[in-house]
Structure 1
Amino acid sequence: MSAAYASFGLAPAMRAGGVLAGGDYQVHRDFVDFIVNGRPLLFQLADLDAVSPLAADVPPAIFTTHVRRLLLEADAPLLDGRYVIYGCPECEGLECGAVTAVIERGGQSGDADAGADDDYVWRDFAWQTSDHADLALNGYHGIGPFRFRGAEYRAQLGRLLDGDGIGGGPRRVLLIGARVALLAKLAAALRTIGVGAEIAADAAGVPAEELRTYGAVAFGHAVPQRTRDEVRAAFEGAGADIVCVEGRVPVVPLLVAQIEQALDRGPAEHRRLTRLEVAGDAVVAEVTSACRVRLTAYRLDRLRRTRVHEVLDEVLPPGEHRFRLPGKARHVVARTPDSVRVAVPRS
């Protein structure tokens, strides 16, 4: 008798980039995640910071090879028929560690199901840092095996081969404002983490096809309402689906986080960080599964200098969590491996 079937799907996901405390940064990565039984498989791996091999920024030929490997139409990249399911978001080196699994057709001997030979099975998940996986020491014993129906499995991955990248939208932002020095710093920070950014006074005369390459528009605090309305009208006339970001506080890491949140077009039900809000002198965060959460609060002092407060950096269990904010800091950025959210005081 074969194991119970699991459903298989794909959905856009991201590894949130950002400017971190002390000037460090992490690169933004868009990728396609595996949805098993209606839930991202990555969520079962707690606080793991990783992406699937189906990343948007890999060359098309390599992307196609990764898809064909999952379809077992290309040789396994690792020994013992093992395939990379999730790897390092900064590089492709196995020495950084990767989640691997055996992928095979059919099932175990004695399988009574007539269609079992058409199934795809993912089993023996492990954390691997060298040529051989040590299942006893580094195996994910609570995950899998998963048995997927062949037709569903091939149809989902076939969409990628047909050119449907299941992307989350354009990864460029147009910066509108008068403070050129601040906008230049913001644009540089965005480009550093892998998000395209251009600076302009307005959107007048920009061709419609170019406007459609943007996923967000960020307005500086001093931009007149008339200019804002004209920019929105230009994008609407071009048929561009954009998110508008109001940059009221001139703090680059905070603005980067706001833009990252605006560019996240992944399904809401596939996010671990579902709520973040400032309530008085506390911040409330809610997560759907155990994951690493970093909370950073920002404020401007009397001389308009940026003050940064690291509120939290730890793995939180599912549920609602409340933390006291230090001093007068009330602008908060929350990061998990897959998303970023920004909360500001209620006016």
Structure 2
Amino acid sequence: MSNVPVSVLSIRTQKREGYPCPFEYGDFLIEGKPLALAAQFLQEYPHFDDIGCLGFGSERFQREQIERLLLDGEADFPNDRRSLYICPACGDLGCGAVSVRIHREKKCFVWSDFGIQSHPSLEPHIILCPWIGPFYFEETAYAETIRASYGLGGFHWPYPAK
């Protein structure tokens, strides 16, 4: 691993304005820069309006997101792909998502094979983003960062109760 650059992942509280209502969530930063901006997702996904999957929603939803990103929970897409950015209104993968493959390698969590995709129950479609990643994160620091997102924006869904 000495010849592989290890990146620093952090989570920043971000306020979402607009639909469905104002609320806070956790945005991914790599080396202090927002991943969504650095990845230039807007080039391939012109209506990119997704938010980081951490720090908002019910307690159960937040635990599930953390477990997925720590590889303790099931992937939410086929081929072991895991969503990072999801629909801000409902979290439904059918609305589209930014996904990644996550694996462990020599005391690091590795994010690779970024893509923009829709839920597999729809016509499977993925646009790979080969210009971004891979990113290597030191195992302990990564786990602490992901776990620290729990409750960041509170424990409620952003849209009003039906």
Q: Same fold (TM over 0.5)?
A: yes
Q: What is the distance in 2 between the residues matched to 1:157 and 1:104?
A: 15
User: Under a length normalisation based on structure 1, what TM-score does the superposition of the two structures give?
Assistant: 0.39
AA matched with 2:21:
V
Distance 1:166 1:92, change over 3 A: closer
Answer yes or no: is 1:141 the counterpart of 2:130. yes
Q: What is the distance in 2 between the residues matched to 1:75 and 1:193?
A: 26
Residue of structure 1 equivalent to 2:89: 90
Residue of structure 2 equivalent to 1:151: 140
Per-residue CA deviation, residues 150-195 of structure 1 (Å, 9 max, x unaligned), is: 111012123245xxx344x9xxxxxxxxxxxxxxxxxxxxxx976x
User: In the TM superposition, what are the counterparts of 1:311-326 in structure 2 within 5 Å?
Assistant: none
- How far off is 1:133 after superposition? 5.1
| Structure 2 residue ranges without an equivalent (≥5) | none
Q: What is the distance in 1 between the residues matched to 2:94 and 2:152?
A: 29
- Contact conserved, 1:120 with 1:153, CA < 8 A, in 2? yes
- Contact conserved, 2:55 with 2:149, CA < 8 A, in 1? no
- Contact conserved, 1:126 with 1:139, CA < 8 A, in 2? yes
Residue of structure 2 equivalent to 1:128: 117
AA matched with 1:152:
A
Distance 1:51 1:100, change over 3 A: same
Q: What is the distance in 1 between the residues matched to 2:66 and 2:148?
A: 10
Distance 1:73 1:98, change over 3 A: same
Residue of structure 2 equivalent to 1:15: 16
User: In the TM superposition, what are the counterparts of 1:275-294 in structure 2 within 5 Å?
Assistant: none
Residue of structure 2 equivalent to 1:41: 35
Q: What is the distance in 1 between the residues matched to 2:118 and 2:146?
A: 27
- The count of corresponding residues between Structure 1 and Structure 2 is 147
Of 108, 123, 126, 1:119 maps to 108
Structure ranking higher on relative contact order (CA contacts 8 Å, 6+ apart): 2
Distance 1:33 1:105, change over 3 A: same
Query: Percent of counterpart pairs with the same letter?
Result: 29
Q: What is the distance in 2 between the residues matched to 1:92 and 1:33?
A: 15
Q: What is the distance in 2 between the residues matched to 1:43 and 1:5?
A: 20
AA matched with 2:22:
H
Q: Which has more helix, going by share of residues?
A: 1
SS at match of 1:66: helix
What CA RMSD, in Å, does the superposition of the two structures yield over aligned residues? Answer: 2.3
Per-residue CA deviation, residues 26-80 of structure 1 (Å, 9 max, x unaligned), is: 5323211111111111223346211122142x11012111111111111112111
User: Under a length normalisation based on structure 2, what TM-score does the superposition of the two structures give?
Assistant: 0.79
- How far off is 1:97 after superposition? 0.9
Q: What is the distance in 2 between the residues matched to 1:10 and 1:55?
A: 9
Residue of structure 2 equivalent to 1:4: 5
Residue of structure 2 equivalent to 1:29: 23
- Contact conserved, 1:34 with 1:40, CA < 8 A, in 2? yes
